Amino acid sequence: MNIVVLNSMWVLIASVLVFLMHAGFAMVEVGFTQSKNAVNIIMKNFVTVSIGVLSFFFVGYGVMYGADAGGLIGTDMFALINAPIEISGITFDVFFFFQAIFAATCATIVSGAVAERTKFTAYIVFVFVATMIIYPLIGHWIWGGGFLSTQLGFMDFAGGTAVHAVGGFCAFVGAAVVGPRTGKYKKGKPKAIPGHNIPLGALGVLILWFGWFGFNPGSTLDITSPATAHAAITTLLSGSAATFSALFFSNFRYGKPDAALTLNGALAGLVGITAGANVISFYGAIIIGLISGVIMIFSVEFFDKVVKVDDPVGAISVHGVCGSFGTIAVGLFSTQAGALGLFYGGGFKLLGIQTLGVLIVGSTAIILAFITFTTLKKTMGLRVEEHEELHGLDTMEHGISAYIEI
Amino acid sequence: MNIVVLNSMWVLIASVLVFLMHAGFAMVEVGFTQSKNAVNIIMKNFVTVSIGVLSFFFVGYGVMYGADAGGLIGTDMFALINAPIEISGITFDVFFFFQAIFAATCATIVSGAVAERTKFTAYIVFVFVATMIIYPLIGHWIWGGGFLSTQLGFMDFAGGTAVHAVGGFCAFVGAAVVGPRTGKYKKGKPKAIPGHNIPLGALGVLILWFGWFGFNPGSTLDITSPATAHAAITTLLSGSAATFSALFFSNFRYGKPDAALTLNGALAGLVGITAGANVISFYGAIIIGLISGVIMIFSVEFFDKVVKVDDPVGAISVHGVCGSFGTIAVGLFSTQAGALGLFYGGGFKLLGIQTLGVLIVGSTAIILAFITFTTLKKTMGLRVEEHEELHGLDTMEHGISAYIEI
Amino acid sequence: MNIVVLNSMWVLIASVLVFLMHAGFAMVEVGFTQSKNAVNIIMKNFVTVSIGVLSFFFVGYGVMYGADAGGLIGTDMFALINAPIEISGITFDVFFFFQAIFAATCATIVSGAVAERTKFTAYIVFVFVATMIIYPLIGHWIWGGGFLSTQLGFMDFAGGTAVHAVGGFCAFVGAAVVGPRTGKYKKGKPKAIPGHNIPLGALGVLILWFGWFGFNPGSTLDITSPATAHAAITTLLSGSAATFSALFFSNFRYGKPDAALTLNGALAGLVGITAGANVISFYGAIIIGLISGVIMIFSVEFFDKVVKVDDPVGAISVHGVCGSFGTIAVGLFSTQAGALGLFYGGGFKLLGIQTLGVLIVGSTAIILAFITFTTLKKTMGLRVEEHEELHGLDTMEHGISAYIEI
């Protein structure tokens, strides 16, 4: 029995679990937004998978995993030309399959934040840019042999920064540049625009959680490693702890256990553990989860009331803030690098490296997303007309309604 | 190649399939109840996963699988302290992961039966008790080295009794103590309160069925055993047969093929085969399924009209009655213990053991659940105010509606 | 380590993925049809699984894989009597499990095309016939040792013809014989009857895509074969390319990016690659996807406006037309048989064989379906009364509504 076969089988199955996350993202975004834009949300999710996979096949994979140039960018294997037979202990085909499905998730994060007022065509262009350049470039730095991992020693196991923080920072820029939904702010005060289908959103969260068991444990690429099952448990514990803390903290702060925040709490805990799911202890995972659930709530409030960037689904806080926090927390809770098994295992040095890495990635993502979105704004236009927004993007952009009762 | 790696991989994947059952339970309960309580149902499902996992991590696992004291209870490994490296031929981490996800399903069964009138906080306390004490204690007797399996010879492969009957008996007590929904009985006659979204309920049933292929075949913990694939087929056949019999019997009895009963029929067949999925022949699985679909219908009528316990989703009948029936039926249809391969394989001795085991477990679950629910009723209160029930728990307990059309 | 164990594990997991496709089909059909018939759609999907599995167990498997008689039909192993221990390098139990779940998908395809006006009982009889005779008979010719594969050299890897084209051709006959929905044609002009829940339909498509990663890669029955991961990638690429082409072509042709056509585009690409997922190059998969997305749109128009067969979900075009196209395209794009790795790899000989095979299968399916549906029409009746259709099948056939808002 070849160990390559066994590990390839594991990663193939993990990839398929990750694929279903696209159904999870779609349902979360649909459920948390207004019914008049549901078709548009669905269309964006399909476009993200479709264009994301094709862009990554032709360009993104090469940028991310091609021959390294100066620690900055990959330079070959475009359209998989001259790809090897095996890589990282699994077959190349399985490795590419896993990576291609990952790539599309980064862009998806943005779609929720810019929902309900962004032009469909502009979003399509963004998906091309995100999956050809933004995600693969930063991914190269972290996973493709670039300077962040090889020279700095930055640790990001399954994409707390490479996928989630990058997606969250791009989401922030997109939402800021496109501007808030009409009616979101009256005299500077935010107005809640509730989602139209909480059960569908909840289904989405549970599907995402299910897929996360491919996303995190699958990222070892090695079923013989104890880190694989360890990552499954830390993912389960952190998600559970964050659901718990978001539930109780929202009840404490707002007087009622808030459904949207509790569901986002689960996601916050899953994002929070992603960067260190393999090296953080079980207790550390619970602590990271508890904290993620609470800082997500503060962050949602902060962006809503102080920064006044309108993010319909909370993507900035869930993916950007908790992804960054979780990556930095690897410096606090890693058991691999240290002795105590809980606190300061990596020492302040690792903490510094992780913080620096997040800052570098965050700045880069913000700059690249800003260039993309402002260029789109000045050329083809980023935002639908106000009357289109009020009537809903479904009838205006796609000519149908999501729901018809007959 | 280490066989432990292969079996651990199998059980890890099976666990992930079981995790999606929480999405299935959520959708079934939402679909089969009223729209005004959908957010509350969702919140209870998230709480069940979250608190269930954390309680089981800190306490429940130790009670269930810790060092046995007198055949009654486990006494160490709380918070997984001093856990071994391997157990039952797989890595400890994978074993815990599988067990933790199982644990939460038992409490979930109860949430459907007490839906639409129970206080959210009271339900939260019940989840703590169920996953720290009730389920792990009985689980210890059956799977953790306790007296039912080691001394009595009781057989429960994947939890027909340990999970489903326990959940179903607790559901019975909970529904009885909290009382029927306002308006359910007029002058002692039951009034049908139809669910608000059959397609969502159907999606839930199919997701549950999908997860059951992790639940049953995964319970061998051994991919090299022929019993694994055998359990997959018996699960498929019994679910199919019960769907068939519930469809035709509901048509025969009520004049129309009833949707809710057909969907519950599928679940009845899946529950019915769970205790013996590894040892019951293919023909036996079909017979168990056919019977499960019919006794579920009689049981729903019986609890609705005679016992007058209001169970909105039929959890008592599906999980309690069919779980008990299926466990006893192992004594009738087991091919392992006997010769014929269909009837009386285990002889009357095994039939007696199985019946006795179900009675012991049933009494225990009923007593523990009764203590829990009556204590809750007398202290914090178990039931929402009548006006809260009429307006719906969503607006009253959580401050939002599940659905908004804009 | 026994390689049989490893391959059996892989196919067992793939089968479970395929099982969830039944949830996908159910959601697609519900979402794309009217709300007044949603319960009926759900019931048909449950009946398909239930009766499909039981029929295939008792009869279908033997017809398909029993001892070959004259290259035409299998003749033993009914009810799995005298089944072997192993087959095709995996355990028999896993092989049967995979095949039984496949069998039910073929009938499901038809249920969408005849939706909203067909008698529930008539559909039940059709499922018996389809899973006992039509699918297993043709399946025997292609996969069970019959004349199409062994004598003609016809290639159909995962069922582009055996499952999808057969289902699509039966769908065509069923829809034609039962006639269009009342109100579909006014003075010969088709009227659009939009689906009632696009997000649910979209969820169904993504679940189907997820299951397709079991359907195609699982069909190698061999995890050690490079074709397994290759099939995963071609499935991903073709689905993505077809989503892309359907989106842009629908925008080009109708002025707006059409949601229903984009979602069906994804399915068209998945069906298109199924026959050759193992042997078609990555570039070939993209080309097949791009073409599938476009011909599906032309086909939907053609059947709607020219042939005037009313197919509510587009099953004829998606499964019948794209399944046939993809099977023939194996003769164009197969890399196994030829040199160039893209075009005409198999030479005109293979192209001729594939075309002939599709014609033989298509004629057979059409004849058998025609006999079945016309017999049903003349005996028990195929179509509900007009007033039942107008009120909706849910209240008339099942006595409930799918949705109730309280």
CATH of the domain at A354: 1.10.3430.10
Per-residue pLDDT tens listing for chain B (406 residues): 589 999 999 999 999 999 999 999 999 999 999 999 999 999 999 999 999 999 999 999 999 999 999 999 999 999 999 999 999 999 999 999 999 999 988 889 999 999 999 999 999 999 999 999 999 999 999 999 999 999 999 999 999 999 999 999 999 999 999 999 999 999 989 999 999 999 999 999 999 999 999 999 999 999 999 999 999 999 999 999 999 999 999 999 999 999 999 999 999 999 999 999 999 999 999 999 999 999 999 999 999 999 999 999 999 999 999 999 999 999 888 775 443 444 444 567 888 999 999 999 999 999 999 999 999 999 999 999 999 999 999 888 888 888 876 5
3-class SS of residue C91: strand
Residues of C in contact with B230 (CB under 8 A): 93
Give the count of domains, chain B: 1
Question: Residue A387, Cβ neighbours under 10 Å: how many?
Answer: 9
CB-nearest partner of C54 from B198, B224, B240? B240
State how far residue A368 is from chain C, nearest Cα, in angstroms. 25
- Please give the span between the terminal C-alpha atoms of chain B, in angstroms, as a whole number: 58
- Exposure on the CB side of residue C10, measured as CA atoms within 13 A: 29
The Cα-based distances of C134 to B166, B397, C129, C138 in angstroms read 44, 54, 7, 6
Asked if residue A187 is part of any domain, the answer here is yes
Q: What is the pLDDT of residue A333?
A: 83
Cβ contact, residue pair C43, B236, below 8 Å: no
CB-nearest partner of B210 from C1, C20, C45? C20
Q: Which two tokens stand for residue A17?
A: 């679990």
Q: What is the DSSP letter of C296?
A: H
Q: Which two tokens stand for residue B202?
A: 């159907």
CB-nearest partner of A213 from B19, B38, B42? B19
- Exposure on the CB side of residue A184, measured as CA atoms within 13 A: 21
φ, ψ at B67 (rounded to 5°): -55, 125
Chain B CB within 8 Å of residue A252 CB: no
Distance CA B389, CA A29 (A): 30
Cβ contact, residue pair C26, B241, below 8 Å: no
Q: Which two tokens stand for residue C277?
A: 């997922």
- The pLDDT mean for chain A works out to 94
φ, ψ at C361 (rounded to 5°): -65, -45
Chain C residues 115-174 with a CB less than 8 Å from chain B: 120
State how far residue A50 is from chain C, nearest Cα, in angstroms. 4
State how far residue A43 is from chain C, nearest Cα, in angstroms. 7
Cβ contact, residue pair A198, B96, below 8 Å: no
Chain B residues 318-347 with a CB less than 8 Å from chain A: none
State how far residue C68 is from chain A, nearest Cα, in angstroms. 34
Distance CA C327, CA A322 (A): 47
Which contiguous run of DSSP H or E holds residue A135? helix A135-143
Cβ contact, residue pair C5, B202, below 8 Å: no
Residues of B in contact with A392 (CB under 8 A): 406
Chain C CB within 8 Å of residue B261 CB: no
Cβ contact, residue pair C240, A49, below 8 Å: yes
- Please give the span between the terminal C-alpha atoms of chain A, in angstroms, as a whole number: 58
Q: B49 to chain A: nearest residue by CA?
A: A240
Q: What is the pLDDT of residue A353?
A: 93
For B118-152, write each residue's pLDDT tens digit.
999 999 999 999 999 999 999 999 999 999 999 99
Q: Tell which of C1, C240, C248 to mutate to test the A interface (max A CBs under 10 Å).
A: C240
Cβ contact, residue pair B42, A198, below 8 Å: yes
Chain C residues 367-406 with a CB less than 8 Å from chain B: 397-406
- Domain holding C257, by residue range, is 3-398
Residues of C in contact with B229 (CB under 8 A): 8, 12, 91, 93-94, 97
Residue with the two structure tokens 């018939």: C37
CB-nearest partner of A42 from C13, C198, C207? C198
pTM higher than the cut 0.95: yes
Question: Residue A276, Cβ neighbours under 10 Å: how many?
Answer: 34
A108 alpha carbon, distance to own chain's centre: 7
The Cα-based distances of B229 to B279, C15, C97 in angstroms read 11, 11, 8
- The stretch A308-318 carries a mean pLDDT of 97
For C121-142, write each residue's pLDDT tens digit.
999 999 999 999 999 999 999 9
Which residues does A70 contact at the CB level (< 8 Å), separation at least 6? none
For chain A, how big is the Rg over CA atoms in Å? 20
Could you tell me the pLDDT band of residue A345, with boundaries at 50, 70 and 90? Answer: very low
CB B316 within 8 A of CB B168: yes
For chain C, how big is the Rg over CA atoms in Å? 20
- Decide if pLDDT at C176 tops 80: yes
Asked if residue B339 is part of any domain, the answer here is yes
The Cα-based distances of A24 to A172, B83, B130, C37, C242 in angstroms read 21, 34, 29, 26, 21
State how far residue B26 is from chain A, nearest Cα, in angstroms. 8
Asked if residue A91 is part of any domain, the answer here is yes
- Decide if pLDDT at C344 tops 80: no
Q: Tell which of A28, A222, A240, A258 to mutate to test the B interface (max B CBs under 10 Å).
A: A240
Chain A CB within 8 Å of residue B87 CB: no
| One-letter amino acid for residue C346 of the chain | G
Q: Is the dihedral of CA B237, B243, B248, B253 positive or negative?
A: positive
Could you tell me the pLDDT band of residue C398, with boundaries at 50, 70 and 90? Answer: confident
Residues of A in contact with C287 (CB under 8 A): none
The number of C-beta contacts closer than 8 angstroms across A and C is: 150
Residues of A in contact with C196 (CB under 8 A): 403-406
Chain A CB within 8 Å of residue C281 CB: no
Distance CA C263, CA C198 (A): 9
CB C278 within 8 A of CB C157: yes
Q: Strand B189-190 relative to strand B185-186: parallel, antiparallel, unpaired?
A: antiparallel
| One-letter amino acid for residue A150 of the chain | T
List chains touching A (3+ CB pairs under 8 A). B, C
Residues of C in contact with A51 (CB under 8 A): 240, 244
Q: What is the pLDDT of residue B400?
A: 85
Distance CA A305, CA B270 (A): 50
Chain B residues 206-235 with a CB less than 8 Å from chain C: 206-207, 209-210, 213-214, 217, 223-224, 226, 228-230, 232-233
Asked if residue B123 is part of any domain, the answer here is yes
Cβ contact, residue pair B27, A229, below 8 Å: no
**In terms of DSSP H, where are the helices of C255-346?**
259-274, 282-301, 315, 322-333
- The stretch C300-322 carries a mean pLDDT of 97
Chain C CB within 8 Å of residue A57 CB: yes
Q: What is the pLDDT of residue B333?
A: 83
Residues of C in contact with A26 (CB under 8 A): 199, 202-203, 206
Q: What is the pLDDT of residue C154?
A: 95
Asked if residue A403 is part of any domain, the answer here is no
Q: What is the DSSP letter of A125?
A: H
| One-letter amino acid for residue A383 of the chain | R
State how far residue B348 is from chain C, nearest Cα, in angstroms. 28
**In terms of DSSP H, where are the helices of C58-197?**
61-65, 92-113, 120-129, 135-143, 147, 166-178
Cβ contact, residue pair B203, C405, below 8 Å: no
Asked if residue C406 is part of any domain, the answer here is no
φ, ψ at A4 (rounded to 5°): -65, -40
CB-nearest partner of A1 from B1, B91, B403? B1
State how far residue B51 is from chain A, nearest Cα, in angstroms. 7
Distance CA A11, CA A261 (A): 32
Distance CA A87, CA A96 (A): 10
State how far residue B256 is from chain C, nearest Cα, in angstroms. 6
How many helices (H) and strands (E) in chain C?
Answer: 17, 6
- The pLDDT mean for chain C works out to 94
For C23-55, write each residue's pLDDT tens digit.
999 999 999 999 999 999 999 999 999 999 999
Chain C CB within 8 Å of residue A22 CB: yes
Residues in chain B: 406
Chain B CB within 8 Å of residue A192 CB: no
Cα angle, residue B241 at apex, residues B239 and B244 outer, rounded to 5°: 110
Q: Is the dihedral of CA B377, B381, B382, B388 positive or negative?
A: positive
Q: B397 to chain A: nearest residue by CA?
A: A256
Asked if residue C217 is part of any domain, the answer here is yes
- Decide if pLDDT at A55 tops 80: yes
Residues of B in contact with C397 (CB under 8 A): 256-257
Residues of A in contact with C286 (CB under 8 A): 54, 57
For C53-81, write each residue's pLDDT tens digit.
999 999 999 999 999 999 999 999 999 99
CB-nearest partner of B8 from A195, A229, A239? A229
Which residues does C80 contact at the CB level (< 8 Å), separation at least 6? B282, C57, C61, C96
Q: What is the pLDDT of residue C347?
A: 63
Asked if residue A406 is part of any domain, the answer here is no
Q: What is the DSSP letter of A334?
A: B
List chains touching C (3+ CB pairs under 8 A). A, B
Distance CA B78, CA B98 (A): 17
